Amino acid sequence: MNSNESLLKDEYLFLQESYDNVDRKCLDIKGWNITLSAALIAAGFQFHAENLFAVTALASMIFWYMEAFYRGLTFFVRNRIEQIEIVFQNGNCKSEKPLQIYSSWDKLFKKEGKQTLKYLFKGHVVLPHLFIMIICLFFYLLGGT
């Protein structure tokens, strides 16, 4: 294995780990939302505090946006992963410059822009955030009964 191929392999492994870390972070965000929402909903019913339902809906929207933001980052990571995979499939390791994460990211970002809004409405991102938000708004509008 030549040094170019070795560096591309190292870059690929780093990017794959970064991609996996975003998945873990998104699961954490979902977990934070569910935990906080359950506590606030329970408190809202226990203390007859309808405003807690509105706060919970707002918090759920923030968690939803945070997850979409992180998922949007994977768009740029995935692009470089795909580039490196194509290089290995075609056997063109000598012609591909390794260690181009930032350059690849910057070029694609200038072309495509932020990806947060694109990911905001994807099914795997929407749930459970939208569900929690709707339920909480429903409880808020009912006056917490």
The pLDDT tens digits along the chain (145 residues) read 789 899 999 999 999 999 999 999 999 999 999 999 999 999 999 999 999 999 999 999 999 999 999 999 999 999 999 999 999 999 888 888 999 999 999 999 999 999 999 999 999 999 999 999 999 999 999 986 5
Q: How far is CA 139 from the centre of its chain?
A: 28
Contact 18, 77 (CB under 8 A): yes
Domain regions of the chain by residue span:
3-142
Q: What is the pLDDT of residue 143?
A: 85
Task: Count the residues in the chain.
Answer: 145
Tell me which DSSP letter residue 104 carries: H
Give the CB-side neighbour count of residue 134, counting CA atoms within 13 A.
6
Q: What is the pLDDT of residue 145?
A: 59
